[in-house]
Amino acid sequence: MRALLCLLMVLWTTQASAQTWRELEVVLLPGAFYQPLGDRLFREDPPQDLSESALLEHFQTQLAQYDLVKPQAIHTLTDTLSVDLRRMLTLAQERFDMGLSAWKALNPQDAVTHFERARELHREAFSDLLAPHLLAEVELYRGLALLDLGEQGLAHFAFAQSLFYAPEQRFQAGYYESSVEERLQAAALELQRITDVLSIRFSGERLSALGKALKRDYILVHARLQQKNETLLQVGLFDVRRASFAFRVQSKTPEAIPKELDYALSAWHTCALEVSRALVRKRESAPWSIELGYAHHVWLHHRPTRNFLQGPGVVLGVNHRFNSNLEFWAAYRQRVTLMDSNTDLLDVFTSGHLSTGLGLMIGPEVLRLSLRLGLELALSHADITATTDVDCKFFGPSHPRCGTTFQANNPAVWFGLEVGLRLRYMPVRSWYVSFDIGMNSYLLSQSLSSELNFPLHASIKLGIPF
Amino acid sequence: MTTLRKSVSVSVFTKSFLGAGLVWLGGLSGCDNLNERFTGLWLIADENEAAPPWLGEGVILALGHYGPDLTGVVHFRDLNGLRLSTCACSFFESSRVDADIGRLSGYSKGCNPDDMVIWQLSIDDEEEPAYLQASVTLASSPQARTTFRLIRSQEFVATEWRACTP
């Protein structure tokens, strides 16, 4: 028994802690390695850069050590990409294929058009961040098609873009014409001018848009830049909600990065953890409220008359909210029941209805629905006389021709249950509007409730919390 | 409104709210109430026109109209409007009221209590004052039929006109 209790306690605590703190989901994007290439751009057998995947794995392991931090490599999120993004990517690929076909068919002009559209679609699909090699391929072929058109300058920039997105690209020596190789070589020189590689490769605007599209709060990015004999490693954690880097670290000795990253992560983790919204005390309006409004009612059970009896009225209400789901309410309705079209009710009568009870509420503060149950005591302020006998109406109840009339002397008393639905719209904290509909079922005073019962009432009220 | 009341036979809630709404709107817009259109004190329009003796020479109708029901008193008077000593009044019993088209039929006793008089009235309340076109037949002698016009002198029927102690 004790063991079972302990187990339950552990489960409860685990569950509570999971609900208490908000998990921090960090997306890891593929990095880039920029290095002076020289003649290394053309290799018979391009070497595989294994350090990139090792780096990603390392960052993932390092992040996972922190409580409630959930690192996610981008390739694991492919399925979570929105339909629009995936569709955009497919369209971009189709455009690229069309461009490739046009280029192979010696139609460089059409090819350039298709490649440019493919480039735009890739940007919309965030390929520059998620799959830069795809965009690099588009830019490479765009550059080749531009060269065919004699657009040397534009081709140069296209090659530079291609190498910027995928600096690890290598080309088989002799595969392209020497003029193409020269252009590629010249474009590679452009990359050597980059110093702050992280800011250029991962702009805040693009990261922010991607974070929103992926619905993630943090993105970890990194890039390497080889300068002479040293390799500069830059790592940054982008905060999507703040649209800026939470921290950036860099080191020329890659071995020192884990330590520096650990310091930065530790500091960030301390401040980034948030209590989940469920535990944050909601700002609610004042517990009391008073309201006044117009009410209309219809007696659904009206034995002495052939037509429904109905009439207008005013309602004054007071409410007290115990918590976000339970309230106490009280209302006073002053009603006038009008004569029906047949004048079966011989005269209008007024009545006062005092009701009180509890309400169960659901919904946010701004638009709240409540089910109300309560009791009502009602008193008429005048005699109620009704008949369907035309002679009673014309000659009077005491006339010999008059048959039967229903008469309830003042004050007629009703007592019974009330059930209602209420929709409250509170655009600001200082006032609200409520729409109520309800019905009474009178139990006491059998002689009266069997004649006039089940008033259905609806009201619109303006209320002020205090 | 009567037509509407007949046609609306959906749920009780719809019915009640629709009815309430129409009555309320009707009241606001000041529509004439068809359910009371025959109510009033009706006198023979032409002072020189005399009703047949079995109705007295002058006749006054005091009618109370309440939706599908109507009742009233037929007062028998002479041409000067004075109460006849031989016959004072009779109760008007309606048999059919078509308020929508402004027609009603009914019966009463005649000046001779043994006579049964059949009334057919049609109203024209477009004009002011409203008038009733009366076609009256003596039941025992269908040839004895007369027509005359009544105008409404008062919309409210005072207690003295409601009383009838033949």
pLDDT per position as a tens digit, A136-172: 999 999 999 999 999 988 999 999 999 888 888 888 8
CA distance B23 to chain A (A): 8
Interface residue of B6, B23, B25, B73 to substitute, partner A, most A CBs within 10 Å: B23
Whether the predicted pLDDT of A48 surpasses 70: no
Contacts of A296 in chain B (CB under 8 A): 20, 24
Considering CB atoms only, which of A342, A394, A456 is closest to B68?
Answer: A342
Whether the predicted pLDDT of B2 surpasses 50: no
Q: Is the Cβ pair A312, B23 closer than 8 Å? A: no
Contacts of A439 in chain B (CB under 8 A): none
Q: Is the Cβ pair B71, A391 closer than 8 Å? A: yes
Mean pLDDT along residues A350-357: 93
Note the pLDDT of residue A58. Answer: 84
Whether the predicted pLDDT of B163 surpasses 90: no
- A236, A198 in Cβ contact below 8 A? yes
CA distance A340 to chain B (A): 9
Whether the predicted pLDDT of B13 surpasses 50: no
CB count, 10 Å around CB of A425? 11
CA distance A335 to chain B (A): 14
For chain A, say whether B96 makes contact (Cβ under 8 Å).
no
Query: A173 or A431: whose pLDDT is higher?
Result: A431
Considering CB atoms only, which of A308, A344, A391 is closest to B20?
Answer: A308
Considering CB atoms only, which of B15, B20, B71 is closest to A394?
Answer: B71
For chain A, say whether B23 makes contact (Cβ under 8 Å).
yes
Q: Is the Cβ pair B157, A394 closer than 8 Å? A: yes
Confidence grade of residue A277 (pLDDT, cut at 50, 70, 90) = low
Whole-number Cα distances in Å, A171 to A46, A144, A312: 7, 14, 87
Q: Residue written as tokens 């296209």?
A: A158
Residue A427 burial by CB count (10 A; 0-12/13-18/19+): exposed, middle or buried? exposed
For chain B, say whether A294 makes contact (Cβ under 8 Å).
no
Which of these, A459, A464, A397, lies nearest to A431 by C-alpha position? Answer: A464
> Per the structure block, which two tokens stand in for A238?
């982008």
Whether the predicted pLDDT of A354 surpasses 90: yes
Considering CB atoms only, which of B13, B20, B66 is closest to A393?
Answer: B66
For chain A, say whether B22 makes contact (Cβ under 8 Å).
no
Query: B25 or A308: whose pLDDT is higher?
Result: A308
Note the pLDDT of residue B166. Answer: 61
Q: What values do phi and psi take at A218, rounded to 5?
A: -135, 145
Mean pLDDT along residues A197-206: 86
Q: Is the Cβ pair B15, A308 closer than 8 Å? A: yes
With b for 16 or more beta-carbon neighbours within 10 A and e for fewer, the A279-318 pattern comes to: eeeeeebeeebebebebbbbbbbbebbbbbbbbbbebebe
Distance of alpha carbon B135 from alpha carbon A436, whole angstroms: 55
Whether the predicted pLDDT of A9 surpasses 70: no
Q: How many residues can be counted in chain B?
A: 166
Query: A308 or B126: whose pLDDT is higher?
Result: A308
Mean pLDDT score of chain A: 85
- B67, A341 in Cβ contact below 8 A? yes
Interface residue of A301, A302, A306, A308 to substitute, partner B, most B CBs within 10 Å: A308
Q: Give the H or E element holding residue B161.
A: helix B159-162
Interface residue of A299, A302, A347, A394 to substitute, partner B, most B CBs within 10 Å: A394
Whether the predicted pLDDT of A34 surpasses 70: yes
Note the pLDDT of residue A113. Answer: 94
Chain A residue with CA closest to B72: the answer is A394
